[in-house]
Structure 1
Amino acid sequence: MRILFIGPPLYGLLYPVLSLAQAFRVNGHEVLIASGGKFVKKAAEAGLVAFDAAPGLDSEAGYCRHEALRKESHIGTKMGNFSFFSEEMADHLVEFAGHWRPDLIIYPPLGVIGPLIAAKYDIPVVMQTVGFGHTPWHIKGVTRSLADTYHRHGVGAAPRDMAWIEVAPPSMSILENDGEPIIPMQYVPYNGGAVWEPWWERKPDRKRLLVSLGTVKPMVDGLELITWV
């Protein structure tokens, strides 16, 4: 089976889908990751075949510009007209999918180009969660930013997902959808690789404290907030 994974070109959106893609590949399926810019190489470094749907895209700079505009507009957490780069990926990916013809499309909540392609070519589509609180409202809100793209490619509306894949443990799940079947999955994180360093074995004089800032905060605001540490 040919499976197209949508990997929006930001670390926190691409990396969560790579473990499932690797699992499908190990089980004999033909897997392809669609992303853009430098994140195509990041998918390839995970041992997967990747397609660059937005050559030359600097998604991190684009996201920072969007965040700056959001702050200047004082819209708070309201959803703006931002497709998380599905718009930038659309034309190349629609053309490619028409030739490659996947049997299944899997997309994360912000990879809304996936349902557009599924609708255009009548391909089953499944949504994989990447966190705890996903709702149809969130996905539909981002999809609205693709209204012109849907019109440009002759697609009327997003199709209904065949299923949702839930990565949260059952005891912690607060998933809400419109009745799509929910498939639970034990999540295996992917965060890239590293080369073992001898200092990792060093026994510290004091307890070590690990602070994770994620990938978005340092990208948008830098590390000035923690320089005092």
Structure 2
Amino acid sequence: MRILFATAPGYGLTLPLIPMMWAARTAGHEVLLATTSEMTEAGARAGLAVYDVFPARDVWGDLMRQVMDKTADHGDEPEEYRLARQSMGPFGLFTASMTAGTIEAGRVFRADLVAYSSDHAPGMLTAAALGVPGLEIGNRVSWSTRDVDWSQRADRGEDEVTAFMRTKLGIGDRQARVIARIDPRAPSMGGLGNDEQAADARDGVPWWPMSYVPYNGGAVVPPWALQPADRPRIAVTLGTVVPVMTGVSNLRVVIEALGAMEVDVVLAAGTTDLTELGELPDNVSSVGYLPLSTFLPGCAAIVHHGGSGTTAAPLYYGIPQLVLPSFADNPMSAQRVVDRGVGLSHDPATVDVDTVRELVDRLLSERSFADAAAEVSAEMAAQPSPAIVLARAVAALN
């Protein structure tokens, strides 16, 4: 079978689906990842065949410029781009720029199935255009398509940009048969658990549970990451988007707070310019872009921004977390963390050094957070693996 995976050009939107792609490859299926911008390289490094659906421009860069400068003169632009700029969030831009190329990828690949992340309308439209089944895969473990997704919007689940692209590309009102919607959340985080009878009340599409498998890139593992720490090790990251949007002011507060504690800090800031922070405290090690999976198992806690993948990884490893939510889905992730008791949260706009110390100290000293995190980790491990879910989807086609 030939399976086209379609994802948006963001780390948190693509990387969660890569374990499912691996499952498809190891089962003997042909796999092609349809994406663009930085995710083409990320997919290739993961050992996948990748099709760049919009090589003419950097879609992710366009998004960042759109967000940072709302007064920019966009000149003579296609109608779908004007509509996308008026839509909420980044997904309108992805629909406008990526749909045609994703359909072309599926056509030349001769896809039998289109699997796509739940918020990625180009995947849904591609399945409809090609007349092949679709598989919608949730890419968050703190919330899912039951909370927020394209299928809950008006007009049969589609926004103005999606409707425009249907007309422009000649798709019309064709709808793909969606085999299932995959829910990667643990039961106590709102997921299905092992209830395989759940169905969407809106259209009867079944929901299947799946265990979350963290993937955030490969790396040569530094020896210290595999060795027990002499004192609590704290991971700190703001992801790939927050530093671009808001700078490093929150990071400065966190580093100053942790620098005076009896802990070892692993600062994973990617390519963020840290010169504003000055000289780092002796107990802080800046490791650049080191995948969380390489060192998180040895950590006692993590401080982060609330990105979907960054929230999911500590849940998988049973690590308590402090979330300083920035924007988009970050506050929702933070609320789920607090409600389940696996961590704490604070508004980054008002957080200060003393508060960070107090909250991190609570994560380290109050056993309830580690116990709750371990419970969620066990729940996730008990759910069907991506390989089992993929096999079920293939069987449903026959």
Fold-level match, TM-score > 0.5? yes
Compare 109-118 and 207-216 and name the one that shifted more. 207-216
Number of residue equivalences: 224
Corresponding residue number in structure 2 for 1:101: 110
Q: Is 1:125 equivalent to 2:134 in the alignment?
A: yes
Contact conserved, 1:84 with 1:110, CA < 8 A, in 2? no
Runs of 4+ in structure 1 over 6 Å off: none
Of the three residues 90, 106, 131, the one matched with 2:99 is 90
Counterpart for residue 74 of structure 1: none
SS for the counterpart of 1:107 is strand
Greater helix content: 2
Deviates more, 1:116-125 or 1:177-186: 177-186
Flag the 1:170–1:43 CA change in 2: closer, same or farther, 3 A. Answer: same
Question: In angstroms, what is the RMSD of aligned CA positions?
Answer: 2.8
2:207 pairs with 165, 168, 182, which one? 182
Say if 1:203 and 1:165 are closer, same or farther in 2 by CA, change over 3 A.
closer
Separation (CA, whole Å) in 2 of partners of 1:58 and 1:224: 27
Which entry has the higher C-alpha Rg, 1 or 2?
2
1:29-178 equivalences under 5 Å are: 29-68=29-68, 79=88, 82-131=91-140, 132-135=143-146, 138-140=149-151, 141=153, 143-144=158-159, 145-157=161-173, 158-174=175-191, 177=200, 178=202
1:52-78 Cα offsets, whole Å, 9 max, x none, are: 0011432332232343467xxxxxxx8
Gaps of 5+ in 1: 71-77
Shift of 1:95: 2.3
Bigger RCO of structures 1 and 2 (CA < 8 A, at least 6 apart): 1
Instruction: Note closer, same or farther for the CA distance 1:202–1:31 as it changes in structure 2 (3 Å cut).
Output: closer
Separation (CA, whole Å) in 2 of partners of 1:200 and 1:143: 45
Contact kept, 8 Å, 1:10 with 1:59, in 2: the verdict is no
Query: Are the counterparts in 1 of residues 96 and 165 from structure 2 also a CA contact under 8 Å?
Result: yes
SS at match of 1:64: helix
Q: Which runs of 5+ in 2 are unaligned?
A: 71-86, 193-198, 256-398
Report SS of the residue matched to 1:47.
coil
* Deviation, structure 1 residue 159: 3.4
Cα pair distance change 1:84/1:169, threshold 3 Å: farther
Cα 1:67/1:160, change in 2 over 3 Å: farther
